Amino acid sequence: MSTSTAAGEPNRTLVAAWLYTLCFMIWVMVGIGGYTRETGSGLSIMNWDPIVGTLPPLSTAAWNAVFAKYQTISQYQILHKGMDLAGFKTLFWPEYIHRLWGRLMGTVLLLPLIAFALTGRIEKRLIPWLVLLFIMGGLQGAIGWFMVSSGFFAGSTAVEPWRLTLHFCAAMFLYISVLWTALTVRHPTPAAPQGQRRLQRWTQLAILLLFCAMVAGTFVSGTHAIDVFDPAKAIGVGMPPPGYPTTSFFTDQATILFNHQAVATITTLVILITATKALRGNAPAPVRDAGLAIAGVVLLQFILGVTALVSKMLDLGVAHQMNAVLLLTACILLLHRLRGATA
């Protein structure tokens, strides 16, 4: 969308800083969510209480009541039978922080929005869009509960992967919307770079492929496909698994892992080509800067992906996911700087 604030440069800077803060909070949320998913913490809280759930258990009796509920689900009975209250708390706190951070994000969006609207710091035509972003944030919370509730099915020890993917896609749609709005508020006039239409198309392709790679990554995470990595059997080393492509693309772990690697490899090549084109001498300085950022982040992403696969370290997997969002950010920044590009 295209917009500007009528009140001038100081207000544009303030509103953009607020929106950039929200982008940062969403990025952090991706990391927190990734950690809760990898540790299986997401099923430790069995109620969705947007208001009451702001407070954690405050007494031994309250802790025991929450723990008793958790003991009724299959994840406890299959994976954590015999776990004591101290062990349960290690599962509870990451998910509690995850939900609390989401509530904080809603507050950081809503309260400044009201204040900026009342003081005239935001252009009036931008207010409905920002209200819609707030609604989208609330919807994201509902989708999150829709995802978590699937982990309470009989015999289930984790959420359904496709619901996890839906939750992640909704988060990325919200992130892109907030980021594009922030960039447009801060730089309302397109630069209209000459002769950059082809680069604009390459950037659009890179973003599309990157999003597909990220979606494929959610299935890797949701099915713990990394567990089947076995170089001795040529699984997880960039080779199609036996029976491919007749194997299930959404349930077979080896297939899911290969699909992610294949899409990620193609995406990396396209992004590097895009970065090379952006770094050409005739490109404007802002475009070259964005291209350089993309090149650096995509190489880091590739290194993190391979290292996380080989080591199977949880922290590296979370870092890989968070860096993917940074890579998406760099690509969106380049695309925004190419607004109005001419052939």
In angstroms, rounded to a whole number, what is the distance separating the alpha carbons of residues 27 and 323? 9
**Structure-block tokens of residue 75:** 């994840």
Mean pLDDT is lowest, of 102-106, 222-226, 281-285, 333-337, for 281-285
Question: End of a domain among 189, 219, 252?
Answer: 189
Q: Is residue 321 within 8 Å of residue 31, measured between CB atoms?
A: yes
pLDDT > 90? residue 303: yes
123 and 208 share a domain?
no
CA-based nearest residue to 251, from 273, 228, 233: 228
* Cβ atoms of residues 165 and 134 within 8 Å: no
Q: How far apart are CA 341 and CA 198, in angstroms?
A: 9
- Cα dist from 52 to 70, 119, 149, whole Å: 18, 32, 18
Instruction: Mark whether 196 and 173 lie in a shared domain.
Output: no
Letter string b/e over residues 113-137, b meaning 16 or more CB atoms within 10 A of that residue's CB = beebeeeebbbeebeeebeebeebb
Domain endpoint, select from 152, 168, 189: 189
State the Cα–Cα distance between residues 127 and 121, nearest whole angstrom.
10
CA dihedral 183, 122, 107, 317 (to 10 degrees): 0
174 and 112 housed in the same domain: yes
Question: What gap in Å lies between CA 279 and CA 273, rounded to an integer?
Answer: 10
- In terms of domains, do 98 and 174 share one? yes
- Write out the H or E segment, with its range, that includes residue 69: helix 60-70
Q: Are residues 235 and 176 in the same domain?
A: no
Separation in Å, CA 10 to CA 134, 220, 340: 24, 44, 25
Residue 111 buriedness (CB in 10 A; 0-12 / 13-18 / 19+) = exposed
Q: Dihedral sign for Cα 243, 244, 248, 254, please.
A: positive
pLDDT confidence band for 343 (50 / 70 / 90): low
**Res 232: pLDDT:** 86
- Residue 5: per-residue pLDDT: 39
Mean pLDDT of the chain: 91
**Domain count within the chain:** 2
- Give 95-110 pLDDT, tens digit per residue: 999 999 999 999 999 9
pLDDT tens digits for 208-234?
A: 999 999 999 999 999 999 999 999 888
Are residues 149 and 262 both part of a single domain?
no
Report whether 50 contacts 141 (CB < 8 A): yes
Q: What is the pLDDT of residue 52?
A: 61
Residues 196 and 182 in one domain: no
The arithmetic mean of pLDDT across residues 285-303, rounded, is 94
87 pLDDT exceeds 70? yes
Under 8 Å between Cβ of 187 and 286:
no
Same domain, 195 and 326: yes
Beta bridge partners of 235: 230
Same domain, 33 and 161: yes
| 232-278 confidence digits (pLDDT tens) | 888 888 889 888 988 888 999 999 999 999 999 999 999 999 999 99
Alpha carbons within 13 angstroms on the beta-carbon side of residue 160 total 12
Same domain, yes or no: 119 and 241 = no
Model pTM greater than 0.85? Answer: yes
Q: What is the percent of the chain with per-residue pLDDT over 70, rounded to a whole number? A: 96
Per-residue pLDDT tens for 29-44? Answer: 999 999 998 888 999 9
54 — pLDDT class (breaks 50, 70, 90): confident
C-alpha dihedral, 34 to 39 to 43 to 49, nearest 10°: -50
Do 174 and 270 lie in a common domain?
no
Q: Of the residues 189, 211, 226, which one is the last residue of a structural domain?
A: 189
DSSP-assigned beta bridge partners for residue 230: 235
Q: Determine the structural domain holding residue 318 and report its residue range.
A: 191-343
Please tell me whether residue 341 adopts helix, strand or coil conformation. coil
Residues 114 and 233 grouped into a single domain: no
